[in-house]
Amino acid sequence: MSGLQASALPTSARSLCARAGAPGGTAVTSASATLGHEASAAALLDRCRDRVRPALVEAVGRLHPWTGEMAAYALGWADPAGTPDPGGSEGKGVRQALALLGAEAVGADGGDAVPGAVAVELVHTFSLLHDDIMDADAVRRQRPAVWKSYGTGPAVLAGDALLAQAVASLAETPGPRTAAAVRHLCGTLTTLVSGQAEDLRFEERPWSGPGAVEPDQYRSMAEDKTGALLGCALALGAILGGAPDRTVTALDRAGRHLGLAFQAVDDILGIWGDPTATGKPVHADLRQGKKTYPVLIALAGGGRAAREAEALLASGRRIDGETAEHVAALVERAGGRTGTRDEALRQLDAARHALREAPLKHSAAEELDVLFTHLLDRTW
């Protein structure tokens, strides 16, 4: 499991919208009909990135020059020599966009959400930096991870600097809504770290028997590790935009469901994704023995294929080449792939439902829906 990743794959967005948006997600369909999803989502992300960029650059500029250099590399703004990398490996900036759209959806100006957008982008970058150390992931966005380029100690330091700057830059925002925003961000930070702890602990647990990881436990971990920050981005936008608590809560919930949907898609790609598109080897998550959603629901479902997959995974033998191919086939036969796909669709639907619960400005809510769809807009 590797959290959200930048990706620009051919899409299955239309079929996804048609299936998951059926109960009422018509906004997306109409936006899609006009502009095409990809184009409108890309324009949206660009607009938000442009709006946040000066404040983000300023926040990174306040770091010690050395940690600033590592941060610029992590953000895809520069190569390891510190040379600007304009064609680079910048993330999509999903979280900053969610923050801005969160404010606009509650009728405020997106600019009100900029300090929140900066904070969530910095927190996201911090978490990628430190998670790559913990997971020994050597590659991030097709480049060496920060710890690979600069060393583990410096990467720990750069993550710390980003985390500290994230909270500091939000806390320094003038205005009566800052305190609530900081509280929300801090709560998210503890949740995020707790989710990462739970994920790491899953590695030590058995594939079957009393201590085995249950799908619900996995879902709870993924909500903490991936969903909480997406929810926080929307919530910060709403808080800084002056929304009442109920609206903040609804947007936060929408983001959490979105995170769970994204994680489910990511887990499918981690096993069955096209290596040329994911940048990871085929069956990567199986080779690494990761306990991801498809495997867990396959095993939890029981049956002959599940038991055979379980025996192979628990054998301690290397899962590689043909064995990985075989385990992937068994997991699919035991319903792991379909089950995870259903989970993604359920969560996307729940995210849209949460949006509809809140009294949001129509145009911004439409844009949020476009963005939600775009995030799952990959071949899976």
> Which residues of the chain form contacts with a copy of itself (CB under 8 A)?
62-64, 66-67, 130, 133-136, 152-154, 156-157, 159-161, 163-165, 167-168, 171-172, 178-179, 182-183, 186-187, 189-190, 192-194, 196-198, 200-201
Q: How far apart are alpha carbons 202 and 225 in whole angstroms?
A: 13
Closest CA to 131 of 225, 253, 47: 225
201-216: string of b/e by CB count within 10 Å (b at 16+)? ebeeeebeeeebbebe
Q: How far apart are alpha carbons 192 and 167 in whole angstroms?
A: 14
Three-state secondary-structure class, residue 359:
coil
Q: How far apart are alpha carbons 213 and 202 in whole angstroms?
A: 7
Q: Evaluate whether 101 touches 368 at the Cβ level (below 8 Å).
A: yes
User: What sign for the dihedral angle of Cα 325, 331, 333, 336?
Assistant: negative
Q: Evaluate whether 322 touches 287 at the Cβ level (below 8 Å).
A: no
Q: What is the DSSP letter of 76?
A: T
Q: What is the DSSP letter of 227?
A: I
Task: Return the C-alpha torsion angle 148, 154, 155, 157, nearest 10.
Answer: 180
- 183: exposed, middle or buried (C-beta count within 10 Å: 0-12, 13-18, 19+)? exposed
H or E stretch covering 143: strand 143-144
End-to-end CA distance of the chain: 15
Q: What is the DSSP letter of 113?
A: G
Q: Name the residue with tokens 């929810």.
A: 231
Three-state secondary-structure class, residue 134:
helix
